[in-house]
Structure 1
Amino acid sequence: MIRRAVGVLGELLVTAGVLTLLFLVWQLHWTDLTSARAQAATVADLQQEWAAAPAAPAAPAPAASAPAQPAVPDVDQTPPAGDAFAIVYVPRFGADYAVPVVEGTGTEELKGGIGHYAGTAMPGEAGNLALAGHRVTYGKPFHLIADLQPGDAVVVATADRWYTYRVRSHRVVTPKQVEVIAPVPGRPGAEPTEAWLTMTACHPVHSARERYVVHALLESVQDRTAGPPASLAAVG
């Protein structure tokens, strides 16, 4: 009787182990594959939609010196949750890196790409364009966030403009340190006069104990009709 009970227990443990392994494969690999395909399709749809739309008035030429002055954002209304409204390009992550930005940072929104923290600045606007992304699962758009270096470009494309931000710093914080996405990063209550971009992701990899945070400052604004900015050049 005891032998039979031990045998049954062993079989149950093996079955549980197999199911756990299958879940991990699904979580780490299958969700990456399906989300990456869906995100690529969203990028293609946005690019096609923007190409077919009438050209908007050109943005004012930025000053030669950096950082650029904040622009009047061409995304002038908060999109509905889950809607894609921009594309992020990061040359450091590879020449083919292009991920949609969707409104919201909930579980469902982050399956669709990089999430925009509700209430934070829009691309080019004075304040802090705060973004969140997975480092693993669901396309893992911020998997290489720790590889970013000062001076690296983070380019945000919208229907009418290209916004080039340059990485200034990074830090690791606890999830409670929400001041990193304040209008002036790290200074809650301060009045913004510059346009920042903040990228956040769980840290370390496979853990949600902390957050890896990258801050970048707006360098230039370019009308989309002028073609892609030079900042999209591959990183050597």
Structure 2
Amino acid sequence: MRARVGQRVPVVVQSRGRRRTGARVLWVCAETVVTCGVVVLLLVVHQLWWTNQQARAEALQQVRVLEREWDISPPAPTSPTAPVTGTGSSAGSGAVSGADAGGSSPSGAPSDGATRRPAPDAAPGRSDPAPSDAFAVLRIPRLGLTVPVAQGISKRSVLDKGYVGHYPGTAAPGRTGNFALAGHRNTHGEPFRYINRLAEGDVISVRTRGATYTYRVDQILPRTAPRDVGVVRAVPRSIVKPSYGYDAPGAYLTLTTCTPEFSSAYRLVVWAKLVS
């Protein structure tokens, strides 16, 4: 059938502009996804690698400074001192929640201004180390670990610097009671990453200005709740798992950190006893 003269025949024309617009949108979306992926990767590298390098370098430098000072400066005589309190939050730090400053200390002693025992390793002309000041060096030969110990369990001023933090209200190194410490297991130097590898009988030493104290690992609590404050009391015993811990006073060392790795859901606890 022939078309009549003068009758219009419809013609379909493909629009190149629409194709170009669609391709441009897809390209922009792909670039956005790639950029976001790179940013996330950089954040992961920063958190898992760079913070470790930076914190470890700072911590080792602090160890050198402390030991150089101790080698040239004799111990100071003891004198009554004011209490030391912790600073900042310990959430996600490997510390036991509720065991920082404020209210009663983990040992049951008041933390509101009561006088404490003299500090045997205070620097000349000063009282106990201020919060965040390093005052001891912890060594765990089995793990190849050497790290400074500072007052308090603040993430910002202590733990994130790659240091190990001393729970406020707990005993001094070498003294009767519980010398309780917290440290990161992942990121920021992760000093306590491998304390799960410790076994009964392993040696841990704590050097201060005045002496070096040797502890021997005695018990390990693989997992407990973050608020199990019993593990850092003067006579440590878990209030979540009472079969772990002690019944009699002694000179104890407690190490606490997060578990499992890359999580702050629970706490891993290692106890050691003073042997010399």
Band the TM-score falls in, shorter-chain normalisation: 0.7 to 0.9
Specify the alignment match of 2:147 in structure 1.
99
Q: Distance in 2 between matches of 1:159 and 1:74?
A: 8
Structure 1 residue 192, shift from structure 2 partner: 6.5
Contact 1:75 1:122 in 2 (8 A): no
Contact 2:166 2:182 in 1 (8 A): yes
Q: Deviations over 1:48-95 (max 9, x none)?
A: 1101112569xxxxxxxxxxxxx986236542111000000111112x
Structure 1 residue 107, shift from structure 2 partner: 1.2
- AA in 1 matched with 2:147: V
Contact 2:237 2:247 in 1 (8 A): no
Q: Which has the higher contact order (CA 8 A, sep 6+)?
A: 1
The runs of at least 4 consecutive aligned structure 1 residues that moved more than 3 Å come to: 1-7, 75-78
Specify the alignment match of 2:62 in structure 1.
42
Q: Distance in 1 between matches of 2:75 and 2:195?
A: 33
Residue correspondence of structure 1 range 57-206 to structure 2 within 5 A: 74-75=120-121, 77-94=127-144, 97-108=145-156, 109-112=158-161, 113-171=163-221, 172-186=223-237, 193-206=249-262
> Which piece of structure 1 moves more, 42-51 or 4-13?
4-13
Q: Distance in 1 between matches of 2:236 and 2:118?
A: 20
Q: Distance in 1 between matches of 2:216 and 2:190?
A: 22
- AA in 1 matched with 2:56: A
Specify the alignment match of 1:62 in structure 2.
none
The DSSP-based 3-state class of the residue aligned with 1:169 is strand
Q: Distance in 1 between matches of 2:121 and 2:258?
A: 28
Contact 2:229 2:238 in 1 (8 A): no
Contact 2:119 2:128 in 1 (8 A): no
Question: Pairwise CA RMSD of aligned residues?
Answer: 2.3
Structure 1 residue 111, shift from structure 2 partner: 2.4
Alignment pair present for 1:10 and 2:30:
yes
Q: Distance in 2 between matches of 1:99 and 1:127?
A: 22
- AA in 1 matched with 2:252: W
Structure with larger Rg: 2
- AA in 1 matched with 2:146: A
Specify the alignment match of 1:19 in structure 2.
39
* Greater helix fraction, Structure 1 or Structure 2: 1
Q: Deviations over 1:120-150 (max 9, x none)?
A: 1110121111101111211111111011000
The DSSP-based 3-state class of the residue aligned with 1:22 is helix
Structure 1 residue 193, shift from structure 2 partner: 2.7
Give unpaired runs (5+ residues) of structure 2.
1-20, 78-116, 240-245
Structure 1 residue 177, shift from structure 2 partner: 1.1
Specify the alignment match of 1:63 in structure 2.
none
Contact 1:127 1:196 in 2 (8 A): yes
Alignment pair present for 1:29 and 2:85:
no
- AA in 1 matched with 2:237: G
Structure 1 residue 180, shift from structure 2 partner: 0.8
Specify the alignment match of 1:231 in structure 2.
none
TM-score normalized with structure 1 length: 0.79
Q: Distance in 2 between matches of 1:28 and 1:187?
A: 31
Contact 2:225 2:266 in 1 (8 A): yes
Structure 1 residue 191, shift from structure 2 partner: 9.3
